[in-house]
Copies of this chain bind each other. A is one copy, B any other.
């Protein structure tokens, strides 16, 4: 039953053609989704100011282009993650204003200026330089969602003074994203230095028993510092997203 039908039902009630009892019965059995339920979803999109993220993996350039065209029509900004360079080139041919980040395989296409809706700064910290691609995915995600983002790279725990030298940066951030592979110890140390939520992102950096990031993940889940929560391995996007939700609170 679509809106038209619902309108007709109300008209019939008004006109006395359908009794209230019958109308009630029909309404109760209405598939709820016909009652504009999807509009709620629409509202969510508007409220968030960030309607759609495209997961690039497993989609052809053609499929992606088709989605981007639809989003452009609606005047929405676009974020594509896990996009191979080859496909990015295809998309940039059609949308030359889009921007591709080759380290993190992210593409953004801004059809309208990003509104700065985040209240403070999100600080993205990495243990090593090889963690930067994952960090960048978080950075771009948070920026496109309207946040001011700063970075602090290559401050792993084996040279703790490099981290401590940046205490001010750590303490002034409103939300922190900490990205680390190998033993994944950095979020524990950072979590002990700040009073803000820390989103920990394990990366698949390492070899042998790093098990593609599992060791870093486990370490982060077992952090002896309070105030740390964890996302999936290499999930820079997820970290940027939830950090943005926090920064808008």
Which A residues have a C-beta under 8 Å from some C-beta of B? 3, 6-7, 10-11, 13-14, 16, 20, 23-24, 27-41, 44, 47-48, 53, 55, 57-59, 82, 119-120, 127-130, 156-161, 164-165, 167-168, 174-175, 182-185, 188-189, 191-193, 195-199, 202, 204-235, 237-239, 241-242, 245-247, 249
Contacts and interface: CB of A to CB of B under 8 A. Distances in A.
A57 B55 CA distance: 27
How many copies altogether?
Answer: 8
Given A183-B218, A196-B249, 5 more contacts: A10-B20, A41-B161, A158-B225, A229-B239, A249-B249
A234 B226 CA distance: 14
A180 to B, nearest CB: 9
Contacts of A128: 224
Given A38-B165, A183-B188, A209 B222 contact: yes
Nearest to A53: B226
A191 to B, nearest CB: 6
A29 to B, nearest CB: 7
A223 B209 CA distance: 11
Contact of A209 (B13, B160, B233): B233
B222 A242 contact: no
A26 to B, nearest CB: 10
B32 A28 contact: no
B20 A30 contact: no
A199 B229 contact: yes
